[in-house]
Amino acid sequence: MNFIQKITFSKHPEEEIFAKQIKSLTGYKPKDLSIYKIAFTHKSANRKDDEGNILNYERLEFLGDALLDASITAFLYHNLPNSSEGELTQMRSKIVSRKYLNEIGKDLDLVHLAKKPSSKRTFSYNVYGDLFEALVAALYLDRGYVMMDRFIHKKLISKYINLEKLLGKISSYKSLFIEWCQKNQKDYEFVTFEDTGNSHIKHFSVKLFINKRIISKGRATSKKKAEEIACRRAYYKYQKKMDDSSE
């Protein structure tokens, strides 16, 4: 390498570091680093290209979501030959759930690479899963489907998926609870109200009633999550009755 090449190569040390981080993360040397830059750019950075197109990970997240579905669908199809279409669909929804993807994104420390306008800014917990989906899409666009699929198997399937455990996992306590109430002719009601408490972040509190008697409560940053928490608590309270009625 001559003197001019050395100068040229050392002009962008940050890009060199970022490229090494992507290779360490995915196992593959990036061909087009710009795709990965977009994959780790949060919308709050308000970045655009010369033509005014928005540059953040949201479009890649959309693509990555579909690619994850395809990869996981193929995995389940080949590994659960006796499962019906409905069972396969439920299994897939468990695997690509926000909780699973957030755990993976956090374990990979993807937020460390995310570009944000201020070091003081904090991200929501869901950003871990969003970044993982965006990374999947970036890898697909840069290196193709086969390498992307290998990455998903290595980082998600082999480390996080236990088919035996997932087969017995409840994907929605709310759906299970409502089905049990309807089957056993029990009246149920969710009473929801905003509850900020001492936090500046809005929360929702839910009281769950059966036959006009409160049986559990839930609190979360969304109404849906609060209802799910309340139903999960109700399930463990009535687990024996609910399991017996499902047999």
Contact yes or no for 35/113 (Cβ under 8 A)? no
Hey, which residues are catalytic here?
65, 133
Q: What is the pLDDT of residues 137-177, one digit of tens each?
A: 999 999 999 999 999 999 999 888 878 777 777 778 898 89
Task: Please determine, looking at this structure, whether the domain spanning 173-245 carries the CATH number 3.40.50.300.
Answer: no
Residue-level pLDDT at 199: 62
User: What global pTM score does this model have?
Assistant: 0.64
Residues of the chain with CATH 3.30.160.20: 173-245
Q: What is the pLDDT of residues 60-104, one digit of tens each?
A: 999 999 999 999 999 999 999 888 888 888 889 888 988 889 989
Residue-level pLDDT at 11: 46
Q: What is the pLDDT of residues 190-214, one digit of tens each?
A: 999 887 666 667 889 999 999 999 9
N-terminal to C-terminal alpha carbon distance within the chain: 73
CATH code, residues 12-167: 1.10.1520.10
Above 90 in pLDDT, residue 115? no
Q: Could you tell me the two tokens for 103?
A: 């755990």
Contact yes or no for 126/102 (Cβ under 8 A)? yes
